[in-house]
Chain A
Amino acid sequence: MAGVYIHIPFCKKACHYCNFHFSTSKGLQESFITALLQEIDLRKDYVTEPVSTIYFGGGTPSILPSSEIDAVLSQLSKTFTIEPGAEITLEANPDDITPEKLQEWKQIGINRLSIGIQSFFEEDLAWMNRAHNAEQAQNCIHLAQDAGFFNLTIDLIYGTPTLSDEHWKKNVDTAIALQIPHLSCYALTVEPATALDKLIRQKKLADIDTEKQARHFEQLMEWMKASGYDHYEISNFAKPGFKSKHNSSYWQAKQYIGLGPSAHSFNGRSRQWNIANNALYIQSLAQGTIPAEEEVLSSEQQLNEYIMTSLRTMEGISLNKLLADFGKDKYDTVLKTAHSHLTSQHLALENNFLKTTASGKLLADGIAADLFIL
């Protein structure tokens, strides 16, 4: 089973918090598609297993004409073996969603939508500098469901200064009431060199209230549990049967190929990532070279990635896998460091899996770092 990620590096406008790679100018869009098709061809041997998930992310894939998405999908099916019933997700922004587009997406084979709602409230959307408004946020979901998209996920962001505890509850309640089977909830993170970072440094915006973020996260866990969602990864909640197959492959160290500028790939031993620059990406592919950097993972790095990603999932760290893949010494070291976190009840040991408790989830990064072997 392998995954394909396609990065579409264009957005209508820049959200203040965003550090993904994208451009707000559409000038290079056509030559980008040409380059992307070329990249697919050049990298046909990268994945060795049949493809079970395809994910259009970005940027904003929904701003592309459907014909271009279709061209990419056809190129993929010409190049790779795609499993029947593969999960094919498209990230879409509310302001791009129209009945026509939805029909087209259906027709070309998109079977899952990931909608960047972020909030159902105007003041949050304005604060984040999103391209859509509160009304569009509500509407687009109805439109999608009317068009027959039930395998839906939406993104919500919490911990923003404009989001009160009541509004946070309203946002989550709305999603639940709309019967959305999958939710990705992100704590607002101030990434270096973003507009948000700059505004905070210039003291034009107040710094992030981590106490509020912790509270929102705790509330979220409670509400989702009560509504029958599995908290299967730190930021992800799903009704049974609706986990994202694609994202799960990131956390389970499965093969994935990332196409397009800034996209990351992993083949089991090494990771590589494409240059995060549209013009250079296009230029390089025009000359027949993949503009990528590669990193071969040492055994420690593989272990650390395994700890970091699996600790974020519901299953946790498999001690059997730890022993089998990394040997007795590393296994012992990890268990020894885990001890204090077990005592403080941030970690629990169940059926030979080491996993975070509800309180431990808030501290997962620090715990993971602690369990690392350098």
Chain B
Amino acid sequence: MGAHRYFCGNMKNIRNFCIIAHIDHGKSTLADRLLEFTHTISDRDMQAQVLDDMDLEREKGITIKSHAIQITYPFKGETYTLNLIDTPGHVDFSYEVSRALAACEGALLLVDASQGIQAQTISNLYLAIDNNLEIIPVINKIDMDGAMIEEVKDQIVELIGCKPETILLASAKSGIGIEGILAAIIERIPAPSGNVDAPLQALIFDSVFNSFRGIIIYYRIMNGSLKKGDKIQFASTRTDYFADEVGVLKLTMTAKDEVKTGDVGYIITGIKNAKEVKVGDTITLANNPAEMIKGFEEVKPMVFAGIFPVETDAFEELRDCMDKLQLNDASLTFELETSQALGFGFRCGFLGMLHMEIIQERLEREFNQTVITTVPNVSFIAHTSKGDTITVNNPTEMPDPTKLESIEEPFIKAQIVTHADYIGNIMTLCLGKRGIIINQSYLTSTRVELTFELPLTEIVFDFYDKLKSSTRGYASFDYHPIGYRESDIVKMDILLNSEKVDALSALIHRGRAQDFGRKLCEKLKELLPRQQFQIVIQAAIGAKIVARENISAMRKDVTAKCYGGDISRKRKLLEKQKEGKKRMKQIGNVEVPQEAFLAVLKLD
């Protein structure tokens, strides 16, 4: 058979693998070493975490996007093509990991020798196992003084059930163990299977909008092959396009005449409309269309918040940018929202607060949009007295209390891995967040896994920071939704000079409402600039005012100072002031800065 012939020729020399780990365990640094060792990247182009090529990734020192790159490596007299995908470690980007896994047959599971197994080590491992991936455990950072190699080996053996000898040791920083890792990739990870003579089926796992070239699509070919000039078709829409350019992903895109079964590549068709491309779709050939292959599980947003343009007439532009951004972030979901205070915008679903922050930043940096992000909330379920059930992703959708029968809120199961010393602190923290302890088990004599059930709304905002500070960083945390439970939730409104600002409303547990309202008013007082008249800030539950603050009118805004000929400095100061004003939203007669809408996140 043709497939067999091909299998013997070429595909057996392909390995598709990703690097997965808990955050900061050294994935991107290991990728650097692999790329360096195999001369995939020249010395001139090399820099630390070279695959983290977004400004935001470099600034924050974390990976946000999965990044694929092709390596050519000679091994025992044969030449291999290794498609590496570096993945992010932060929980908020787990959707990136799960899609990368679908393009691979194996995974390097990295564990930091000084930290041991952490919460996302476990959750990413399970994702990989679900995808039937060959797991190669690697203990990284063995150069560190605090490396606990034997202990971490025990932990890994316990977790995966592998033989201790199969665990590799490495230091991505000092370049130790790199050759052994490459050998293991070739010897232990299976070559891709699939039939090169079958009709084309390529799974789209990512895409990006490029203003010169249109939309660039990244895929893994499951069957068949894709040639430059082919007429292709998306399985979900059955619309046709031409493959203007196909190729593989080196440090930059490298055009090829053909990309075949088992390989990871890109295609450019000149599509400009973001709506026509969907991650998870299958690329087939127009003249020999194949079945759609199973795509990805739908992403389940954890938090919702509104995103609005500061300038109301920039809505259409923002819509276009959101579509384009979504191409490159399949975990972003959004639908139209209207706010009395802010006009037209989008109610967006995010995987967490970091995700939300990244989306806002990317809109500003990559698309030049000035946006307001509103108070985030989880998704509630409201049961009305008439017997209707409503999903509430937005405080304004919450029915009037008189028409409500009950409200349910989402709960999660949280796994916290920590040192035994911190059990007390974690208990205090979680119980204070309305948590219930479910289980406590010792992984070793000093490492404990605690399991709690907690309301999602209590953990999405600042839980992780609090957890880190109450355990001096010695805790990692992972969570999964476990369904809805009835709860006493009220809607808290904020009024500025007696005008209700819907974008500042929040849904909150009744027991916390009073305190929350007071703190929010205080925070707003800090964040709203003084104006030429008095501003009254009030928090209300229904008609009842529960907190109030005043900002007195500004009396003087002029520098009566001798500044000699130094007019530039003064002008620059005022220009900055004006710049700041442009980012404010006029609500009634009150000017509200962007960050005030997120004041709720900055409460202690």
Using a CB–CB cutoff of 8 Å, the interface residues on chain A facing chain B are 5, 20, 57, 155, 184-187, 189, 210-211, 213-214, 217, 234-235, 250, 256, 258, 263-266, 271, 273, 295, 301, 304-305, 308-309, 344, 346, 361-366, 368-370, 372, 374
Contact = CB atoms under 8 A, between A and B. Distances in A.
B575 A372 contact: yes
Contacts of B1: none
Contact of A369 (B556, B561, B568, B578): B578
Nearest to B576: A369
Interface of B: 532, 554-562, 564-568, 570-571, 574-575, 577-579, 581-582
Closest 8 pairs (CB-CB, A-B): A264-B565, A214-B555, A214-B556, A366-B557, A369-B574, A187-B560, A364-B558, A369-B577
Contacts of A235: 560-562
A363 B568 contact: no
Contacts of A304: 571, 574-575
Contacts of B560: 185-187, 189, 217, 234-235
B565 A266 contact: yes
A308 B567 contact: yes
Contacts of B571: 301, 304-305, 308
A363 B532 contact: yes
B47 to A, nearest CB: 32
Contact of B562 (A5, A155, A258, A265): A155
Nearest to A311: B558
A145 B102 CA distance: 91
Contacts of B532: 344, 346, 363, 366
Contacts of B559: 187, 189, 365
Given A235-B560, A361-B558, A264 B574 contact: no
A273 B557 contact: no
B557 A308 contact: no
A363 B554 CA distance: 9
A273 to B, nearest CB: 7
B299 to A, nearest CB: 39
Contacts of A374: 575, 578-579, 582
Given A369-B574, A370-B578, A374-B575, A186 B561 contact: yes
Given A305-B571, A368-B574, A370-B578, A256 B555 contact: no
A362 B555 contact: yes
Contact of B557 (A189, A263, A344, A364): A364
A369 B581 contact: yes
A309 B582 contact: no
A263 B556 CA distance: 29
Residue with the highest number of chain A CB atoms closer than 10 Å, among B558, B564, B566, B571: B558
Contacts, number: 100
A210 B555 contact: yes
A263 B565 contact: yes
A184 B560 CA distance: 9
Contacts of B566: 264, 273
Given A210-B555, A305-B571, 11 more contacts: A213-B556, A264-B568, A271-B568, A295-B568, A305-B567, A308-B571, A363-B554, A363-B557, A365-B558, A366-B577, A372-B578
Contacts of B577: 365-366, 369
Contacts of B582: 374
A217 B560 CA distance: 9
A351 to B, nearest CB: 24
A242 B561 CA distance: 20
B575 A187 contact: no
Give the secondary structure class of A's interface. Answer: mixed
A272 to B, nearest CB: 10
16 contacts: A155-B562, A211-B555, A217-B556, A234-B558, A250-B567, A258-B565, A263-B565, A271-B567, A308-B567, A362-B557, A363-B532, A363-B557, A364-B558, A365-B557, A366-B557, A369-B581
A235 B568 CA distance: 18
A219 B571 CA distance: 28
B567 A264 contact: yes
Tell which of B557, B560, B565 has the most Cβ of chain A within 10 Å. Answer: B560
B564 to A, nearest CB: 6
B428 to A, nearest CB: 34
A204 B317 CA distance: 52
B446 to A, nearest CB: 44
A213 B557 CA distance: 10
B574 A189 contact: no
A3 to B, nearest CB: 9
A251 B342 CA distance: 40
Nearest to B556: A214
Contacts of B579: 374
Contacts of A362: 555-558
A342 to B, nearest CB: 14
B575 A369 contact: yes
A155 B568 CA distance: 23
A184 B562 contact: yes
Contacts of B568: 264, 271, 273, 295
B535 to A, nearest CB: 15
Given A217-B560, A365-B557, A256 B565 contact: yes
Contacts of A256: 565
B556 A363 contact: yes
A265 B565 CA distance: 7
Contact of B556 (A210, A258, A308, A370): A210
Contacts of B558: 187, 234, 361-366
A273 B566 CA distance: 8
A238 B570 CA distance: 24
Contact of B564 (A234, A250, A305): A250
A235 B558 CA distance: 10
Contacts of A213: 556
A197 B355 CA distance: 39
Task: From A235, A250, A366, name the one whose CB has the most chain B CB atoms within 10 angstroms.
Answer: A366
A271 B556 CA distance: 29
Contacts of B555: 210-211, 214, 362
Contact of B574 (A214, A217, A365): A365
A68 to B, nearest CB: 21
A5 B556 contact: no
B561 A187 contact: yes
A186 B560 CA distance: 5
Contacts of B581: 369-370
A368 B560 CA distance: 14
Nearest to A362: B556
Contact of A189 (B561, B567, B575): B561
